[in-house]
Amino acid sequence: MAYILVKKEEQVTTLTFNRPEALNAINTEMLLELENVLDTIATDPNTRVVIVTGAGEKAFIAGADIKEMLPLSPEEAFKFSCYGQHVLQKLTDLPQPVIAAINGYALGGGCELALACDLRIASANAVFSQPEVSLGVIPGFGGTQRLTQLLGIAKAKELILTGKKITADEAYSLGLVHKVVAYGLAQSAAYEWAVNLANLAPFALTQAKQAINYNAQLLLEQGLQAEASYFSACFATADQKEGMESFLAKRKPVFTGK
């Protein structure tokens, strides 16, 4: 596989998003690889816990690939959003517990992928944000729904409407992550948790996870469909093109409301 490295050790499978030259930004090929890997893991009796992380220490995942999104039509954007939601839902629905080891930037789609995991451990240099409004769009991989479920409406609105970045310590204080560790230690801390979980009864862990997820899932499906519609509507605007073009050109966007 080109973008996802798979390592198995002591009934723990670690998935590393391996696109460091682009700060592990998510593109369609990465989503396709991830879906295939998750389908395999879901039926693997030798995997009791899954860890997801990013290659290098700069980024967990620094969002979705702007170059790929920039030219999308509203119809293409809707399909892109729905597919990203579909794959991240598979991550949430894995029978095994999933731990995100967050090293560096977890922005946009990276933050959304972390939210789809069961447990989140952040390195001290981790940075979280849903910055999509600065690009003329909104979160499209479940961020509007999962962030609201996790933090409540008021705090989700603050983070999504302002697009501001928060540190690992701020994320911990909000309940966005479960633990903060020293720089470079997120993956080893996640592995320690994973080994402890792997020694517990796997069927009981699966049942507990499904029971906890049950109530949240009742409203999530409808919310994700609405999110994809609102996300794709942004791709009919000049502001979406301006936001993404300015990002790639490293200049400040000038939004006109059109």
Q: What are the residue numbers of the active site?
A: 112, 132
Would the CA dihedral through 82, 233, 108, 119 be positive or negative?
Answer: negative
Would the CA dihedral through 42, 47, 48, 52 be positive or negative?
Answer: negative
Residue 190, token pair as written in the block: 């996640």
What is the C-alpha to C-alpha distance for residues 112 and 124, in angstroms, rounded to an integer?
A: 19
What is the C-alpha to C-alpha distance for residues 203 and 211, in angstroms, rounded to an integer?
A: 12
SS3 sequence of 168-226: HHHHHHHCCCCEEECCCCHHHHHHHHHHHHHCCCHHHHHHHHHHHHHHHHHHHHHHHHH
What is the C-alpha to C-alpha distance for residues 102 and 120, in angstroms, rounded to an integer?
A: 7
